[in-house]
Chain A
């Protein structure tokens, strides 16, 4: 009897029992439950392309409330590939994936209070293409990348790179998605190797970073010869592809509690981000087609391309997936993704997966107390005393949790919540605690 944890490509994941969509724990509980990354077959089907919808929405990041009048207005016409900035001299921007007219501008608040302006564009038949990027591609520079590719598919972390003041010594390219069941990075890294190679070349050219490492599932490492980067394999068991674990396994560096990878001079790129850079210079156009894994209610999976800004509703309709009241829609993977509340929510540059979970199959949290069974401690990759930590977090004692119970060692993998017998939303408590502590620190600094 083996753990039914390994899934096959495009076959149902887990199964339904007692109302949970899950990869059930093995019958023999002595072996710790495993969530495995699935290795894609070497020959992949070509990517399906979803035609661009009539109307798309782009989330333009906003730092704070500007007093200046907006540089964009409803009714403005936009060209494909045109850079749209909400204000003059604004460093944030979005790139329009279609040509048409702006039909709506509205504020949008994302997770943890991040502010955006939602720019809705209705497509017309003008097919006008913006050529400003193409005019500059002969001389690749970091500024050119920053000016056009921040919102490209895969969301290249160019701002992080720019803000590091040359501290970044290593770029790690993710050829394996951090979440199980999400195949996007693996698929795209395998199927678009030429663009990946070109992207790596350009990254090395325009940044001072010379150590570029592509990591992927251990067994598939041989597939990436002559890519222009060091290739490293990671284990196929979640959370081996989460940044702190990759730091440990690939670079041999243990991330000190409370530090970020950037503090240690390491920056993570998704394979898709590098491919976007490569294909932008190959084709002369800023890429706007986002590859994503779509997981339906019955667990079947599909990989396709759609343009950034496509509303989730459009994808659901295109693939005939019905959503009922109180279902859940998750952007990102099952372990680290986030649920959305409206079907009009668009695909963003970092949306690697869309998961639809039936209300009867969703995992519900409970208000039961911790029974001290120790499952979380045995599965925690960071060796945190989760049973103690959660007691402090439930009592809002965040500082004590950080000082004595290793809150900042947590790598946010969510395995504790996954195995919790009492179904305590442990990861939610942890994220909240980190957020509250950060907020307290910021307001202290502001009042000092």
Chain B
């Protein structure tokens, strides 16, 4: 009699609630990729708004087309490769926005769509998607565009028809081709306030600095990289300037022109292609800054940021070999 009752008891009662079993830890600090993407976009908005103010509807068109086409490319790749749809994480939207911030406001539609194709498909998805790209997708795309359609990225030519209330000369081109004296035409306040020719999101120095400080404080980008990048530029430019003040522009000019600030805060700091350890981050940032000025001052290109970032992306895994020994490491 007793046995029979026990047999019944061993069966799982119908009222048994199903519980979810998962592995420890059971708490999470609430961070997410979506949060990172959207806060990065938020931090970039002040700079972008200034660009929209100066360049108007064409710039808005480029931004919208760039963000939407980047999302569509991501979706297409998700569908073709039959993987999880990842457009919700905001990364594609952010990359599209960043691309638009760097190119001239007059870029033709086909070039924008081609550009975001390179960003998303070649820069990111071919490597395996988010986290796997060896290079910053936008830097890679811009480098490829520079080689393929250099005239599209020549700001002096592309923005020729704009009538702006400031000098419509791309500052870095002036410095490169007409010597340091030509930089006298640009005062630092104008450069800081975005009164210079350039990409719609890359010229407003103050906005970029505010966005960068926000991201550094929130921990979305690493100060080690951004600050050493800027320090590298400043110090190298100082050395050049001391060596030949007539030929090479002063360091403050280098800090506030071209892609310097957007590179320091938004390009060099990209998670996947930058190192994670403390000392490697310092070397990585400084190397980027030094390379940038070398390319600008003695290289063939007007702005060195994009190429310098691709170079430091390349050495990033190597740099990350410099690391503290693990606890109780047995040699």
- Which residues in A have some Cβ–Cβ distance to B below 8 Å? 14, 17-18, 20-25, 27-30, 33, 74-75, 103-104, 106, 120, 244, 248, 254-259, 323-330, 332, 334-343, 355, 357, 359, 362-365, 367-375, 377-378, 381-385, 387, 406, 409, 411, 414-415, 417-423, 425, 427-428, 431
Residues of B270-328 whose CB lies within 8 A of A: 271-277, 320, 323-328
CA distance A254 to B3 in the complex (A): 55
Measured between beta carbons, the chain B residues less than 8 angstroms from A336 are 24-25
Measured between beta carbons, the chain B residues less than 8 angstroms from A417 are 24-25, 28
Q: Are B31 and A372 within 8 A (Cβ)?
A: no
Measured between beta carbons, the chain A residues less than 8 angstroms from B330 are 256-258
Select one of A17, A259, A328, A385 contacting B20, CB under 8 A: A328
Main secondary structure of the interface of B (DSSP, over half): loop
Measured between beta carbons, the chain A residues less than 8 angstroms from B9 are 103-104, 120
Q: Are B27 and A257 within 8 A (Cβ)?
A: no
CA distance A21 to B30 in the complex (A): 9
Q: Are A75 and B22 within 8 A (Cβ)?
A: no
A245 nearest in chain B by CB position: B327
Measured between beta carbons, the chain B residues less than 8 angstroms from A30 are 216-217, 219, 223
B188 interface contact, C-beta 8 A: no
Q: Are B128 and A369 within 8 A (Cβ)?
A: yes
Q: Distance (Å) between the CB of A377 and the closest chain B CB?
A: 5
Q: Are B276 and A339 within 8 A (Cβ)?
A: no
Q: Are A369 and B129 within 8 A (Cβ)?
A: yes
Q: Are A418 and B6 within 8 A (Cβ)?
A: no
Q: Are B276 and A29 within 8 A (Cβ)?
A: no
| Smallest CB-CB A-B distances: 3 pairs | A29-B219, A374-B276, A363-B28
Q: Are A244 and B19 within 8 A (Cβ)?
A: no
B10 interface contact, C-beta 8 A: yes
Q: Distance (Å) between the CB of A344 and the closest chain B CB?
A: 8
Most buried by B among A14, A337, A414, A418: A418
Q: Are A334 and B328 within 8 A (Cβ)?
A: no
Given known A-B contacts A372-B276, A421-B31, A423-B32, A337 and B26 have beta carbons under 8 A apart: yes
Measured between beta carbons, the chain A residues less than 8 angstroms from B114 are none
Given known A-B contacts A28-B219, A256-B330, A18 and B30 have beta carbons under 8 A apart: yes
Q: Are B36 and A421 within 8 A (Cβ)?
A: yes
Q: Are A369 and B132 within 8 A (Cβ)?
A: yes
Main secondary structure of the interface of A (DSSP, over half): loop
Q: Are A338 and B19 within 8 A (Cβ)?
A: no
Measured between beta carbons, the chain B residues less than 8 angstroms from A14 are 27
Known: A363-B28, A373-B276. 5 other contacts (CB 8 A): A357-B26, A369-B132, A374-B222, A374-B276, A406-B326
Q: Are A74 and B328 within 8 A (Cβ)?
A: no
12 contacts between A and B (CB under 8 A): A20-B30, A28-B218, A340-B21, A341-B19, A355-B26, A363-B27, A369-B129, A371-B131, A372-B273, A374-B276, A383-B326, A422-B131
Measured between beta carbons, the chain B residues less than 8 angstroms from A415 are 25
Q: Are B2 and A103 within 8 A (Cβ)?
A: yes
Q: Are A369 and B130 within 8 A (Cβ)?
A: yes
Measured between beta carbons, the chain B residues less than 8 angstroms from A248 are 327
Q: Are B28 and A22 within 8 A (Cβ)?
A: yes
Residues of B1-57 whose CB lies within 8 A of A: 2-3, 5-6, 9-10, 12, 16-33, 36
Q: Are A363 and B25 within 8 A (Cβ)?
A: yes
B220 interface contact, C-beta 8 A: yes
CA distance A74 to B33 in the complex (A): 55
Measured between beta carbons, the chain A residues less than 8 angstroms from B222 are 374
Measured between beta carbons, the chain B residues less than 8 angstroms from A27 are 218
Given known A-B contacts A75-B2, A103-B2, A343-B16, A385 and B27 have beta carbons under 8 A apart: no
Select one of A342, A357, A385 contacting B323, CB under 8 A: A385
Q: Are B19 and A326 within 8 A (Cβ)?
A: yes
Measured between beta carbons, the chain A residues less than 8 angstroms from B81 are none
Most buried by B among A24, A418, A421: A421
Measured between beta carbons, the chain A residues less than 8 angstroms from B327 are 244, 248, 254-255, 257, 381-384, 409, 411
Q: Are A324 and B28 within 8 A (Cβ)?
A: no
CA distance A406 to B329 in the complex (A): 7
Select one of B24, B30, B273, B274 contacting A337, CB under 8 A: B24
Q: Are B328 and A372 within 8 A (Cβ)?
A: no
Measured between beta carbons, the chain B residues less than 8 angstroms from A259 are 328
Q: Distance (Å) between the CB of A392 and the closest chain B CB?
A: 14
Given known A-B contacts A33-B29, A257-B326, A418-B27, A362 and B22 have beta carbons under 8 A apart: yes
Q: Distance (Å) between the CB of A436 and the closest chain B CB?
A: 15
Q: Are B19 and A339 within 8 A (Cβ)?
A: yes
Select one of A20, A342, A372, A384 contacting B19, CB under 8 A: A342
Contact with A along B111-137 (1 / 0, CB 8 A): 000000000000000001111100000
Q: Are A257 and B328 within 8 A (Cβ)?
A: yes
Q: Distance (Å) between the CB of A285 and the closest chain B CB?
A: 29
A375 nearest in chain B by CB position: B31
Given known A-B contacts A29-B218, A409-B329, A368 and B130 have beta carbons under 8 A apart: yes
Q: Are B29 and A22 within 8 A (Cβ)?
A: yes
B161 interface contact, C-beta 8 A: no
Measured between beta carbons, the chain B residues less than 8 angstroms from A373 are 36, 271, 276
Residues of B126-161 whose CB lies within 8 A of A: 128-132
Measured between beta carbons, the chain A residues less than 8 angstroms from B30 are 17-18, 20, 22, 24-25
CA distance A357 to B17 in the complex (A): 14
Measured between beta carbons, the chain A residues less than 8 angstroms from B324 are 383
Given known A-B contacts A255-B328, A374-B276, A384-B326, A428 and B26 have beta carbons under 8 A apart: no
Measured between beta carbons, the chain B residues less than 8 angstroms from A329 are 19
Most buried by A among B6, B22, B222, B324: B22
Q: Are B218 and A372 within 8 A (Cβ)?
A: no
CA distance A24 to B29 in the complex (A): 5
Measured between beta carbons, the chain A residues less than 8 angstroms from B28 are 20, 22, 363, 417-418, 420, 423
Q: Distance (Å) between the CB of A395 and the closest chain B CB?
A: 12
A327 nearest in chain B by CB position: B19
B220 nearest in chain A by CB position: A29
Q: Are B23 and A323 within 8 A (Cβ)?
A: no
Q: Are B328 and A244 within 8 A (Cβ)?
A: yes
Measured between beta carbons, the chain A residues less than 8 angstroms from B320 are 385
Q: Distance (Å) between the CB of B180 and the closest chain A CB?
A: 37
Given known A-B contacts A326-B18, A371-B272, A334 and B25 have beta carbons under 8 A apart: yes
B15 nearest in chain A by CB position: A343
Q: Are B33 and A368 within 8 A (Cβ)?
A: yes
Q: Are A29 and B130 within 8 A (Cβ)?
A: no
